[in-house]
Amino acid sequence: MRPLALSAVLALALGCQAPPPPAPAPLGPSSSPTRWVHPAPPRDATLLVLPARTVGDPSARGAVSPLLHGRVEALHVRPGDRVAVDAPVAEMASPDALQAAAALRAARHQLKPVTQRLQELRRLRKQGLAASDTVYALVAQQAALEAEAETAKATLRAAGLADAAPDAALRNGRLVLRSPVAGVVRAVHARLGEVRGPDDGPLVEILGVGPARIEARLPRQVPAGATPVFAPLDGEPVPLAVEPVAQAPALDDSGQIAWFAPADPALTLPHGLRGELRLVPASADIVELPRAAVVMDGGQATVARRGADGAVAWVPVEVVSGAGATALVRGPLRAEDEVAADGRKVRAALHLAAADGGAP
């Protein structure tokens, strides 16, 4: 009887224990809180194609501006013309140039007798026949005339007139404005008969060809593992160096401004050429997913991948770039995989299923 009673007690105790909690139900099509998508090759233009332009070397750009006030008498170029360095592009009649030429000639005429008289007084002073005050006064007069001459020469030199020939400047008083660079005339802002001065802006703008960089505004840092290519609106694509020359935050906090150099250092491009910066993923394991698919788990980016049996596994990935509703990620994902379009919803559903299954 005692063994039989013990067996009965054990059977009764085991029958009273709670059954083990059921495993969370797989997230099948009918119970899924989100849609499931397949990883796709990158194709979102907001991530891979960005507006860009060339920024030329400052030494390859020129502006022709008058340094003296004057009236535009002649224009030798028009937009689209090619010009060489030091080629004449405009002529101006300048009263300031005439005044400087007259001042220079007058100062030179006065300096000659003053210098001769000073030399004579210095000889007389050595003999005690001339007062020191007379000599000092003439020295001061000579210095003042030399200062006037140098000021007039500087004015004529800035105007492009030979300071050694003030008479020629007085005969015509014309300023010949020349191109500082070789290139193409981009714009002519002057009109015949117009009076222009140093503060009125350039008369002619010239664009040269030289080393250039590509400037583009990016949503964020340059995606890792991407090969940049500049595609101008008219012309062949230009391969660029993988790493940007520099990056800086945009002043309006709308992303990053990056500058790229051509892969060929000898390549020359005109300033202001517009086109597109194309960021081509260099790795085959970079795929495009909805941005909401990425969920951070302890600092690690993950996505929810559903197996054939409906079970969900969290796969670690690296976010290459993201903007708008899409993201580029690198990880062990295949085109036939099913990835949750909204990882947070899947995580919440799994937590809820685990809580319900664990209830007594």
- What's 272's domain CATH number? 2.40.30
Note whether 78 and 179 are same-domain residues.
Answer: yes
Note whether 253 and 199 are same-domain residues.
Answer: no
Cα angle for residues 18, 20, 23 (degrees, 5° grid): 145
Structure tokens at 145: 């005339």
152 has pLDDT over 70: yes
pLDDT band, residue 323 (cuts 50/70/90): low
14-18, 143-147, 304-308, 329-333: lowest mean pLDDT where?
Answer: 14-18
**79 within a domain of the structure (yes/no):** yes
Note whether 135 and 156 are same-domain residues.
Answer: yes
Cα angle for residues 66, 188, 75 (degrees, 5° grid): 70
DSSP state of 30: T
Rg (alpha carbons) of the chain, rounded to whole number = 41
Rounded percentage of the chain residues whose pLDDT exceeds 90: 32
Note whether 186 and 224 are same-domain residues.
Answer: no
Residue 271 sits in which domain range?
Answer: 47-57+212-281
Last residue of a domain, one of 281, 310, 333: 281
Note whether 292 and 324 are same-domain residues.
Answer: yes
Note whether 100 and 234 are same-domain residues.
Answer: no
Is the whole-model pTM more than 0.95? no
Average pLDDT over residues 292-301: 92
**1 within a domain of the structure (yes/no):** no
Structure tokens at 352: 């809820």
Q: Which of 353, 355, 360, 342 is nearest to 25 (CA)?
A: 353
Report CA-CA distances (Å) from 288 to 19, 37, 66, 322, 344: 44, 10, 56, 9, 18
Q: For the chain, what percentages of helix, strand and coil (3-state, to nearest 5) are there?
A: 30, 35, 40
- C-alpha torsion 128→133→137→139, nearest 10: 50
Give me the CATH number covering residue 70.
2.40.50.100
Buried b (16+ CB within 10 A) or exposed e, 216-227: bebeeebbbbbe
Task: Judge whether 327 and 292 are in contact, CB under 8 Å.
Answer: no
Note whether 221 and 341 are same-domain residues.
Answer: no
69-78, 93-102, 196-205: lowest mean pLDDT where?
Answer: 93-102
**200 within a domain of the structure (yes/no):** yes
Note whether 342 and 294 are same-domain residues.
Answer: yes
DSSP state of 358: T
Top pLDDT among 94 and 280 is at 94
